[in-house]
A and B are shown apart, each in its own frame.
Chain A
Amino acid sequence: MLLQLKDIHKEFDGKVAVDKLSLAVERGVIYGIIGPNGAGKTTTIRMVMNITIPDSGEVLFDGHPADAGFRDRVGYLPEERGLYKKLTLEEVIIYMAELKGVSPKIIKPKIGDWLERVDLTEYRKKKVEELSKGMQQKLQFVTTIIHEPELLILDEIFSGLDPLNMEKIKEIILELKRAGTTILFSTHVMEQAEKLCDNICMIHQGKKVIDGRLSEVKAKFGKNAIQIEIEGDGAFIASLPGVKGFNEFNNYIEIRIDNTTDTNSILKEVANRVVVRRFDIVEPSLYDIFIDTAKIDPNQLETIGESQNV
């Protein structure tokens, strides 16, 4: 186990931000922390980084409490981003790497490659202030990974990036994973989490409500989602017997049914009323799980998914 959080708890002015949260991140996985805004994701990550000190509980890195050496083995991209505006890209990268204990000699030859990966080659000797916001974000990502950390912690990594750059960063993250890097990231955008994560943890109002392998979490929710594409108004579907969840998208409707209801009966009912173009029985998307779970008071919710032996 590379990273373990044991009952970490944090309150701000009497308000609970993170409520006795436990997590275990195995080496070499991509671990996604999801949750609505204000759920406690950033506070959790800050406690992992020893920036915020937990009121109780502990964080173990490689089985030991995080010490000074821990800082060098971790790459951290905070949600609030910023770099030295007056330094050149090269200077920033070297300085950040030096702060991680890596000498300029080792870093310099790598700068060219990495800047090329994120399309910033021509800016190498330019000042950071000349970059657009998206470019600065890519640069900061490079400064986070260039010292080859064992553990990469990315807080809302994709926010503010266009799809092209998102794809680029995603590629790099997957590449790093293949090379053995453990990645912990937070997001409130479910599609990304779904595409990237091996493991998922959902935090809601400071409490862990889902935790486990993505496939297991999905299996637990069951194959009880149906995507229906129809002609005409499908609003009536929500009131059919046995329908639990109803999400209307632009091109299709996604519903969830309870375990006792037969999918065939739904199809019949729908087909009687409108023309059905497509009727798919699917795994619920993380999005549905997120929406459904976030609606429920976390205190009445048992943790879904297999909590790993914490």
Chain B
Amino acid sequence: MSKFWVIFRKEYSQVVKKKSFIISIVLTPIFMGGIMVIPAFLAQKKSTTAEKIAIVDQSEMGIGQKFIDEISEYKLEDTEDNLEDTEDNYYNVEEMFTLTAADSARFSTVTDSLRTEIIEDGLKYFLVIRPEAHVYDSNLYLITNSDNFTTIKRFEYRLSQILSGIRLEQSNVNLSVDSVLEITRRIDLRTKDALGESIPFEIKYFGALILVMMMFSMVIGFGSLCMRTVIEEKNSRIMEVLISSVSPFQLMLGKIFGLGAATLTQVSVWILMGSLLYTQRGMFDLDPSIDRLIFNPVIVIFFVLFLITGYLLYSTAFAFIGAIVNNEKEAQGFIFPITMMLMLPVILGISVVQDPNSTMATILSMTPFIGPSMMMMRIVFVAPTVTEYSLFSGIVGEATLALMVVILSIIFMIWLTAKIFRIGILMYGKRPTLPEIMKWIRY
């Protein structure tokens, strides 16, 4: 057993001492953080210059003018509903054409020239109000090349109010526009689970994605390292010396566990960094429900368990590949299908998380190579909503079962790889065919 530790130490220190290891420990969280923060930051960035608008109004009801009045004076109540704070955005109405409904010749000249302005970037928005716009929704449209969601929503909200007012006037109901809006206000159906305020879907989805990506990058990263060291030792012909000193089985296990220890080192550092950051969470505007995700014991425990077992399963598979190929190029063809299995939940994406307890998701999470990431995804979605955990039922029971599947797969893979390994590592030149591999297994 002592030789196992010699290999273990060598593989571990070879990785941990590398500069690239330290760099990746530091850079990966920064990079991941960047991916998360930068888009949010960009989206928040408000334009400081006035955006030019032109309006063509054929309604003969003054909708255009009312719109101008509305957008030039913002009220804080806009922040209700789906509008963000409005102070920073402002609009400059460049041109306003009030035409009669019949004046179609003028309409087309004006719209054509304004369209050109939109194309040439002289104008940002061009609002077209055709006759009877308060009756037919299709007679009211905005021409723009901008995708500014907030602005478009804001215009929509404003125009709805204006049109509601007009409709109200025409309907002889003696109520103010505001009170009608209040009466007909749509509700925002909030969901709560048994434990209180529910965790927003985006947060769960994002959290699950991060965990799966972390698992993926570490399992594939260190697993393929296991393969690369085998290939390197084959190519440098040092393998024969190694095998004359240790058994192939010791060598294989030493590698797998040594690199596994490096994986755990990396996770520990990240968890530590994450915890430090978390204590400073006041600096960020975080949804309080995040606590329910991060401090959920089921999520934490199973993440660590699935990370370890997932790593063991995949690195054994990678050791298998390393033993039968001659160089990394040959290995590429094998790596792709393997990595895809771990990414499957991400590829299937929404369909899994919308119904994490569907038969398909359940079966997939009990499937050897897919299990770790799939089960993790499901746990993130289901575990925070459960109050009582049981080892034999519910999500924890299923996770335990999935874990058992992974552990059995590991045992099988180690048995299989050990058989292939001792022969494969000393074969140079020709890549073995499947029948040959089958022969090695029976050997």
Contacts and interface: CB of A to CB of B under 8 A. Distances in A.
Nearest to A52: B426
A71 B244 contact: yes
A85 interface: yes
Interface residues of A, number: 27
B242 A99 contact: yes
Nearest to B247: A68
B244 A82 contact: no
Contact of B244 (A74, A81, A95, A101): A74
B247 A95 contact: no
B183 interface: no
Interface string A38-60: 00000000100111100000000
B246 A99 contact: yes
B252 to A, nearest CB: 14
Contacts of B2: 101
Contacts of B237: 78, 80-82
B242 A82 contact: no
Given A99-B6, A101-B2, A101-B3, A78 B245 contact: no
B245 A71 contact: yes
B241 interface: yes
Given A98-B6, A101-B2, A101-B3, A84 B238 contact: yes
Of A80, A84, A99, most buried by chain B (CB within 10 Å of CB) is A99
Given A95-B10, A99-B246, A78 B236 contact: no
A95 B237 CA distance: 16
B240 interface: yes
Interface in A94-112: 95-96, 98-101
A82 B236 contact: yes
A78 B246 contact: no
A76 B6 contact: no
Given A68-B247, A82-B236, A101-B3, A96 B241 contact: yes
Query: Which one of A78, A101, A143 has the greatest number of beta carbons of chain B within 10 Å?
Result: A78
B441 interface: no
Contact of B3 (A50, A52, A99): A99
A83 B238 contact: yes
Contacts of B247: 68
B83 interface: no
A15 to B, nearest CB: 15
B243 interface: yes
A82 B238 contact: yes
A80 B233 CA distance: 12
B241 A78 contact: yes
A66 B2 CA distance: 19
A100 B236 contact: no
A82 B231 CA distance: 13
A143 B238 CA distance: 12
A51 B240 contact: yes
Contacts, number: 55
Nearest to A49: B244
Interface residues of B, number: 18
A144 to B, nearest CB: 8
B149 to A, nearest CB: 52
Contact of B243 (A51, A77, A82): A51
B244 A51 contact: yes
A85 B238 CA distance: 10
A84 B236 contact: yes
Contacts of A77: 241
Nearest to A86: B14
Contact of B236 (A50, A71, A72, A85): A85
A100 B245 contact: yes
Contacts of B242: 99
A78 B3 contact: no
Contact of A78 (B6, B235, B240): B240
A100 B246 CA distance: 8
Given A95-B10, A99-B246, A76 B3 contact: no
Contacts of B241: 76-78, 82, 96, 140, 143-144
A222 B202 CA distance: 93
A140 B243 CA distance: 15
A84 B240 CA distance: 13
B441 to A, nearest CB: 15
Interface string B245-275: 1110000000000000000000000000000
A275 B242 CA distance: 60
A85 B245 CA distance: 19
Contacts of A78: 237, 240-241, 244
Contacts of A84: 236, 238
Contacts of A68: 247
Contacts of A52: 426
Contact of A95 (B6, B236, B240): B6
Interface in A1-58: 46, 49-52
Interface of A: 46, 49-52, 68, 71-72, 74, 76-78, 80-85, 95-96, 98-101, 140, 143-144
18 contacts: A50-B244, A71-B245, A72-B245, A76-B240, A76-B241, A76-B244, A77-B241, A78-B237, A80-B240, A81-B237, A83-B236, A84-B236, A85-B236, A96-B245, A98-B3, A99-B7, A100-B245, A144-B241
Given A71-B244, A81-B237, A143-B241, 14 more contacts: A46-B240, A49-B244, A51-B243, A68-B247, A71-B245, A76-B240, A82-B237, A82-B241, A84-B236, A95-B6, A95-B10, A99-B7, A101-B2, A140-B241
Interface of B: 2-3, 6-7, 10, 235-238, 240-247, 426
For the complex of A and B, 7 pairs with smallest distance between CB atoms: A82-B236, A82-B237, A99-B245, A80-B237, A78-B240, A76-B244, A82-B238
